[in-house]
């Protein structure tokens, strides 16, 4: 989990994609710049197999009614009864460390006594294997962690239900707060991990927000915040002056306390003056802040292998917007970056020593590493992309090998969003090719050898692009003249083998070779949880998705149990038989023909 003050203060989570009208993949917001060597991947404005040219009227793609087939009802069971609500946001509602070190647990809230709200955790793995769990005082597979969950929602601080979440296998939640909680939150913050009989408080009575490591029991907290409420009303950001940064590793059988790392002081009004994150291995905590008498952030780190007290060590001065390389041996930083100058000079340095600083590019405002933080296969550095500002707008460059900084590929000179494939082979880019049209989805080959176009219809609103876990397929939603938000996938190398996986798609997630999505109908009168299975080989023209349930409520998520995939969800219903927490699976690998 990463944290930047006043920007995603509740951390970085995995949110499901929204419906049409949302921004494109990974909105970069702002700027990018000059610099970078190597070839330019000329983006093909038509693309292999595209059905509309750059000029002229858009091609109207006539589609028959999309088939809808119900999944085997025998694969669905209710594992918790009663009116409950998952916390977190999709993935973070359940333990999500990869690979799973043990059973999968999910967290949910439900009404308690006298208007209070309770927080519970249920062992979904045991429910899948043995049937429904009993949520009572005698159960070991369904535990009540608090009878006084905080349910407030703040613009400039944590918010229920999203801030109560699993970071890896560590559940972090806010509870026992005072009646008149300020903004941002000030009160106790708790943690729980599988194997514990009860939750433990990990902050003082003045906790603000905490974050856990996705692959270990390491945590940090922002505590004892000295803050000034903005005089211009609730939509103006409060001014953070100083706070305590706490850290520690949560033991199984010991009440090991959190330890003060440092009292952090922030320059008045600078909302980007602090950043904190773990190494992928969880053995170090890195953070940057502006030291007294300085104007730029200094990157420091502490070792989490002991119990404290911590001895912060300086890694690099003038280091903001940084990202730690996945192998833990390097750090990418923006230098000369500040609130007044929101562009920096991208540089590479050794970590944790801070030695061998090498400049890369200027006028950079965003860095993206290849591979997800929680991907167990991404413990090596497989490259990075970055956004820089040019006279044409946001450019996007890619570096495959940090030991060869002379080989920089400029993949696009003007973009409005991007996303990197987990294998580092491709990047999806959104670009406007015609005035008054929505951006077109392009897939560039990161070796600079060219690109292709995903859109079936230029001018269609195209968004929510991402790659499968192995990088062999690219997915997107396209809303054009058909009147439906169609879900599609294709071969990223050629943009061919286009396969439709759903209609009226409101959002989707990927799990192994399954795409799980919420899809509605033409009248927007209902929606369904659906899934389809794709393959890396020769593909049909379309897939027939299987329908799991109608009228889902709130987030639903997929989880892996052994070699199988399951969907955990709730229903929007007031009838007792439809209330509770449901699980469907294992997902079927065989589908009826379209």
Reference 248, options 317, 329, 191, 323; nearest CA is 191
Report pLDDT for 109. Answer: 97
Residues 513-529 as b or e (16 or more Cβ within 10 Å = b): bbbbbbbbeeeeeebbb
pLDDT category of residue 480 using cuts at 50, 70 and 90: confident
- DSSP single-letter state for residue 271: T
C-alpha span between 239 and 204 (Å, rounded): 21
Does residue 490 have a pLDDT over 70? yes
**Which residue, among 170, 142, 91, has the nearest Cα to 556 in the 3D structure?**
91
Distance between CA atoms of residues 214 and 475, nearest Å: 25
In this predicted structure, what is the pLDDT of residue 381? 87
Give the residue with greater pLDDT, 479 vs 26: 479
Distance, C-alpha 535 to centroid of its chain: 25
pLDDT of residue 388: 95
pLDDT at 483 over 60: yes
Residue 42: count other Cβ atoms within 10 Å of its Cβ: 11
pLDDT band at 60 (very low <50, low <70, confident <90, very high): very low
CA distances to 148, 328, 407, 559, 580 from 114, rounded to whole Å, are 10, 49, 64, 34, 21
Q: Which of 50-59, 115-124, 321-330 is least confident?
A: 50-59
Distance CA 98, CA 93 (A): 15
Q: Are 280 and 324 in contact (CB under 8 A)?
A: yes
pLDDT band at 252; cut points 50, 70, 90: low
pLDDT tens for each residue of 339-392:
777 899 999 999 999 999 999 999 998 999 998 765 655 688 889 999 999 988
Rounded-to-integer distance, Cα 209 and Cα 265, Å: 17
pLDDT tens-digit series, residues 187-218 = 999 999 999 999 999 999 999 999 999 999 99
pLDDT band for position 408 (cuts 50, 70, 90): very high
Is omega for the bond preceding 161 within 30 degrees of 0, making it cis?
Answer: yes
Residues 6+ apart with CB under 8 A from 93: 86, 87, 106, 107, 108, 165, 166, 555, 557, 568
Helices (H) and strands (E) counted in the chain, each on its own, are: 1, 41
Q: Rounded to an integer, what distance in angstroms lies between the CA atom of residue 429 and that of residue 416?
A: 7
* 106-132 as b/e: b if 16+ CB within 10 A: bbbbbeeeeeebbbbbbbbbbbbeeeb
């Amino acid at each position: 989990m990463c944290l930047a003050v006043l920007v995603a203060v509740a951390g970085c989570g995995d949110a499901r994609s929204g419906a049409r009208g949302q921004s494109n993949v990974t909105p970069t917001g702002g700027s990018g710049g000059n610099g970078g060597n190597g070839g330019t991947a000329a983006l093909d404005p038509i693309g292999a197999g595209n059905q509309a040219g750059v000029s002229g009227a858009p091609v109207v793609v006539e589609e028959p009614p999309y088939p809808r087939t119900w999944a085997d009802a025998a694969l669905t069971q209710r594992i918790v009864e009663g009116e409950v609500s998952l916390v977190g946001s999709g993935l973070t509602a359940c333990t999500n460390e990869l690979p799973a070190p043990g059973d999968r647990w999910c967290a949910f809230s439900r009404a308690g006594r006298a208007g209070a709200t309770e927080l519970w955790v249920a062992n979904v793995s045991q429910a899948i294997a043995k049937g429904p769990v009993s949520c009572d005082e005698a159960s070991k597979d369904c535990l009540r962690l608090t009878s006084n969950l905080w349910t407030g929602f703040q613009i400039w601080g944590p918010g229920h239900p999203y801030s109560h979440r699993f970071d890896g296998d560590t559940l972090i939640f806010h509870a026992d707060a005072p009646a008149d909680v300020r903004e941002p939150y000030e009160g106790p913050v708790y943690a729980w991990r599988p194997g514990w009989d009860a939750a433990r408080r990990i902050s003082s009575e003045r906790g603000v927000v905490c974050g856990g490591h996705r692959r270990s029991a390491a945590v940090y907290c922002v505590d004892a915040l000295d803050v000034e409420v903005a005089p211009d009303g609730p939509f103006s950001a409060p001014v953070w002056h100083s706070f305590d940064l706490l850290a520690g590793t949560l033991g199984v059988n010991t009440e090991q306390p959190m330890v003060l790392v440092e009292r952090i002081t922030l320059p008045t009004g600078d909302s980007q003056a602090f950043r904190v994150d773990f190494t992928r291995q969880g053995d170090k905590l890195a953070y940057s802040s502006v030291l007294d008498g300085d104007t730029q952030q200094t990157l420091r780190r502490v070792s989490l292998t002991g119990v404290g007290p911590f001895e912060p060590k300086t890694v690099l001065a003038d280091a903001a917007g940084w990202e730690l390389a996945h192998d833990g041996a390097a750090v990418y930083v923006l230098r000369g970056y500040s609130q007044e100058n929101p562009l920096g000079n991208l540089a590479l340095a050794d970590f944790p020593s801070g030695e061998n600083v090498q400049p890369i590019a200027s006028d950079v405002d965003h860095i993206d590493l290849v591979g997800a933080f929680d991907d167990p296969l991404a413990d090596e550095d497989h490259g990075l992309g970055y956004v820089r500002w040019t006279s044409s707008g946001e450019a996007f460059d890619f570096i495959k090998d940090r030991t060869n900084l002379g080989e920089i590929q400029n993949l696009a000179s003007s973009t409005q969003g991007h996303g990197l494939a987990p294998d580092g082979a491709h990047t999806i880019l959104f670009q406007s090719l015609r005035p008054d049209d929505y951006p077109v989805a392009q897939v560039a080959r990161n070796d600079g050898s060219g690109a292709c176009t995903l859109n079936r219809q230029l001018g269609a609103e195209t968004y929510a692009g991402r790659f499968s876990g192995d990088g062999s397929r690219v997915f997107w939603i396209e809303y054009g003249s058909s009147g439906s938000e169609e879900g599609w996938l294709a071969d990223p190398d050629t943009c061919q083998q286009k396969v439709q996986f759903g209609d009226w798609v409101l959002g989707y997630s990927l799990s192994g070779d399954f795409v799980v999505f919420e899809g509605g109908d033409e009248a927007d009168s209902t929606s369904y949880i659906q899934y389809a299975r794709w393959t890396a080989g020769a593909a049909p023209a379309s897939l027939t998705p299987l329908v799991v349930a109608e009228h889902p409520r709130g987030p639903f998520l997929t989880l892996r149990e052994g070699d199988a995939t399951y969907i955990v969800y709730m229903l929007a219903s007031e009838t007792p038989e439809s209330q509770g927490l449901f699980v469907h699976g294992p997902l079927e690998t065989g589908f009826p023909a379209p």
